[in-house]
Structure 1
Amino acid sequence: MSKIDSAERARALDLVPVSRETAERLDVIVALLEKWQRTINLVAPATLPQLWTRHVADSLQLVPLAGQVTRWVDLGSGGGFPGLVVAAALAEIPAADVTLVESDSRKAAFLREAARVAELPVTVVPARIEQVAAQLAPGVEVVSARALAPLSRLIELAHPFLAKGAVGLFLKGQDVDNELTESAKSWRISSRIAPSLTDRSGRILIVTSAVPLAPIKEAAGNAKGSTHD
């Protein structure tokens, strides 16, 4: 028996309406995720009943904020949020190209299978963000991330894209103002905040530029954001 609340689908698509074709692609993604979730922790198990609102609609709300774009990169895609959902929404655009960066090989395998089955315009890059960001950045219009890292670290990971003119769309929580204050010690950030449609405490940080106040140091470790709460 499915653990996903079927009524949640209607609530989610009421919050962020999409075309019938996009909704069908999302159905494919959700069904596959529930199947793979039995063996791989793609989302926090406690959030599975609210998958449609907690994860799908939460991701979908980024698309209208981006405007008319075709080149999108999602960092630390994990279970496909927001990357797979964004790709489902952009699939009707002929030139759409969504790249998902995910270093966990099992999760990367899920992303590839979901993209294949749902016929999404997706390329999965199974690598650490630091290793591929510079080569992926040219021409990218939007860089996104969800539950990936504290803002200062997130800006560092996304900087190659921001420096090439991409807009950052980052799903954050109610502490985003504090994160911006902390990040201001290392970055001069131009941004605005939009409220979340799905979470009263959620915020969407829209970053138009980020300039380091000192040379960027080689980062140790890897922020992946592969399991979303």
Structure 2
Amino acid sequence: MKELVDSRNQNLWNEINQNYTVEFEESINNEYGVYSINNSVTFVIDKNHLCIDSFTHEILHIYMNMKDLYFTSSLKLTLLQSKILSENISVELIEHIGNCLDHIKMLPIYLELGFDRNKFIADYDYYKCNSEEIREFNKSYRTGKKINLKAVDPFIGRLVAILCDPNEDFNYSSDLNKLKKIDPLLFKIIERLIDHTKEIKVINRNIYEDNHRTVIANFYKNLTYWISQNNFRS
């Protein structure tokens, strides 16, 4: 553990140990991860590549839970209220969105502690969009005035990946302009989801201030409005 904890993340680590029973599991894909059940948390680590930056990233996911921020579980519960959303938004997309919203709140803390931005996510150097994807969206997203439901899931996923990318060296302006033209309303809804998440506090948040519940409730309200404004085909 000496390689994974130092003066920068020691306080976070102590806080987690005070609130959870902690276990470790060896990674089978050379990636770091974490999962929790009730008061137990298991960190998945790559024993062949001990990386304090990657480990701190996983600590911060649990720290979000400790601060009552549960984006993924709230998304799952909320989207089930809509037949069209629950049937066409994949579990993988929900987990991707929730993970990215966590990252929005985690990154400032991670950087403030002094960790390497380049190591915040495994695919930091990977550009999150390509021209072929945009061509495919232009081709298949709509048939006449109907939106292809099968294209909605990847469209949202691509937007979230771009808008939450921590790599400041990437310029997505051209890609975002092209994606916005495909579905301006849905684009605006995803933008608002990201911006709303940025606005909420992690600490010193009182009961009258926005939290993950209000963020996801607002997202759901906006999505239901988007549904009411469009026609769809399976």
TM-score grouping bracket, smaller chain normalisation:
0.3 to 0.5
Q: Higher strand fraction: Structure 1 or Structure 2?
A: 1
* Structure-1-length-normalised TM-score: 0.34
Larger Rg: 2
* Structure-2-length-normalised TM-score: 0.33
